[in-house]
Amino acid sequence: MLRVLFVEASSGGVVGGSLTGLYHLIRGLDRQRFMPSMVLYEPKAIESDLRGIGVPVYHVHRRRMPKEHVLLNYGGYRRAKTSGFVRSGLALGRQALRLGVEEIPSAVRLARVIRQAEADVVHLGNGVRANFDGILACRLTRTPCVCHVKGFEKYSARERWAARQIDALVCMTNAVRDHCVQHGLRGRATHVVYDALDEIAFRPQRAPAAVRAELGIQNGAPCVGVVGNIQEWKGQGVLIEAMGRLADTFPTVRGLIVGGVHRAGAAYEVQLRERIHALHLDDNVSITGFRTDIADVMNALDVIVHTSVRAEPFGRVILEGMLLGKPVVATAAGGVPELICDGETGFLTPPGDAAVLAERLIPLLRSPDLRQRIGARARSWAREHFSLQGHVEALSEIYATLAKGH
């Protein structure tokens, strides 16, 4: 039996898409072949669920250097940073400080856990930059390493070096793979494995009418929603602006912003609430906060909206909406066009364009039949191309190959 240690290095106090994806993967693994365990860098709400399916959870402390520091308050420092030479020197200094303060100490701690768990393979879930310490730990313990790349990041020489130490670089979409190739990021082997969702686990438990009543949504009122942690790049404000354009045509329309507030999104949430009030949308738009019943809430919506203003590598919420048979209107950037056939299994809009988003929503809000047709096609497409079984089989083969070759 192969022991696979999953490492989730995210911070911010929320359960994001990377950890959710690992959770579904672990649920799908054949326990006759694999024994999974999990490392977290901070406490997460999902820990009880992991332990409930027999997955040991380890904690590794990693000191985080502050992104803001006192020198930023001085104009001379800000002016000096505009010089390319100074900026490069500061970047090298920060990298060295980060290596000594953050990454080497946490790599040593993680190496202890790898040995304690007797891991045959380590799966790093957050990409090369965030998992640099994990790559070092795998080198220290000589453990085969899978690194899951799920974003479009900037890479320097140190990340390009680190990638060459990775036994299997797994990219979640072709767009992510192309980005890695463009920036010289190459593992010893590179794979594209689409993320997936455990459809059985992601199943509504309550009737939509009951959920709508709890949320104060009028019976029969058209309702759209964006689901995801509140932070600026997720673009929840785009939905608010679109709702401002829709309210006159659909006076009872409701828009929900569903998700917890990321540590970096507190100020943005305040801005969202102020904008709702400024547009006189207090009766039309609600911010629900963190919810544990995401499947129930999404199933109560008529349309799922994805509003990221930065290129999204995948967009798990898009797949969730599709599997629930909901029409999804999503931002056409990054890996999202690989999930949706525009006009067939959903609709695509330019990033940050509230006017086009409103235009796409109007026919969907007017026609239950159109919503049903698009949603049915979306469900069939998602089941065919993004099944959990296919996702698990692809990664299981990678684990087995690495363990066998070690």
Q: What are the strands of the beta sheet with 57-59, ordered from one edge?
A: 57-59, 34-40, 2-8, 121-124, 145-149, 168-171, 190-192
pLDDT for the residue 43: 87
Burial 168-189 (b: 16+ CB within 10 A, else e): bbbbbbebbbebbeebebebee
CATH code for residues 208-385: 3.40.50.2000
Amino acid symbol at 368:
P
Decide: 333 and 308 in contact? Cβ < 8 Å. Answer: yes
Among 224, 182, 243, 198, which Cα is nearest to 371's?
224
Among 147, 150, 104, 151, which Cα is nearest to 124's?
147
Q: Give the integer Cα–Cα distance in Å for 359 and 353.
A: 10
Place 139 in a pLDDT band, splitting at 50, 70 and 90: very high
Say which range, 62-66, 91-95, 141-145, has the weakest mean pLDDT.
91-95
DSSP 8-state assignment for residue 137: H
Residues 6+ apart with CB under 8 A from 244: 279, 281, 354
Say which range, 45-59, 81-95, 145-159, has the weakest mean pLDDT.
81-95
Average pLDDT score, the chain: 90
Instruction: Please report, rounded to a whole number, the percentage of residues in the chain having pLDDT higher than 70.
Output: 91
Q: pLDDT tens, 294-352?
A: 999 999 999 999 999 999 998 889 999 999 999 999 999 999 999 999 999 999 999 99
Q: What sign has the CA pseudo-torsion 288, 289, 292, 298?
A: positive
Decide: 134 and 110 in contact? Cβ < 8 Å. Answer: yes
Q: pLDDT tens, 166-216?
A: 999 999 999 999 999 999 999 999 999 998 888 888 899 999 999 999 999
Q: pLDDT tens, 342-388?
A: 999 999 999 999 999 999 999 999 999 999 999 999 999 999 999 99
Decide: 172 and 149 in contact? Cβ < 8 Å. Answer: yes
Among 31, 204, 199, 36, which Cα is nearest to 125's?
36
Same fold, 2-196+387-405 and 208-385: yes
Q: Give the integer Cα–Cα distance in Å for 207 and 193.
A: 34
Among 310, 388, 307, which Cα is nearest to 347's?
307
Say which range, 10-19, 86-95, 130-139, has the weakest mean pLDDT.
86-95
CATH architecture of 2-196+387-405: 3-Layer(aba) Sandwich (3.40)
Mean of pLDDT values over 45-52: 92
Residues 6+ apart with CB under 8 A from 118: 3
pLDDT for the residue 85: 53
Q: Give the integer Cα–Cα distance in Å for 110 and 7.
A: 9
CA angle 113–119–13, rounded 5-degree value = 50
Q: pLDDT tens, 66-114?
A: 655 444 555 554 555 555 554 556 556 666 677 666 889 999 999 999 9
Burial 21-55 (b: 16+ CB within 10 A, else e): bbbbbbbbbeeeebbbbbbbbeebebeeebeeeeb
Q: pLDDT tens, 247-287?
A: 999 999 999 999 999 888 999 999 999 999 999 999 999 99
pLDDT for the residue 78: 54
**Backbone φ and ψ of 57, nearest 5°:** -120, 125
pLDDT for the residue 10: 84
Decide: 239 and 351 in contact? Cβ < 8 Å. Answer: no
- Rounded CA Rg of the chain: 22
Decide: 28 and 61 in contact? Cβ < 8 Å. Answer: no
Helices 354-366, 368-385: inter-axial angle, 10-degree rounding: 110
Cα dist. 91→61, 87, 94, 101, 159 in Å?
24, 6, 5, 15, 14
Domain residues of the chain, as ranges?
A: 2-196+387-405, 208-385
Q: Give the integer Cα–Cα distance in Å for 29 and 400.
A: 12
pLDDT for the residue 315: 87
Q: Give the integer Cα–Cα distance in Å for 366 and 358.
A: 12
pLDDT for the residue 63: 77
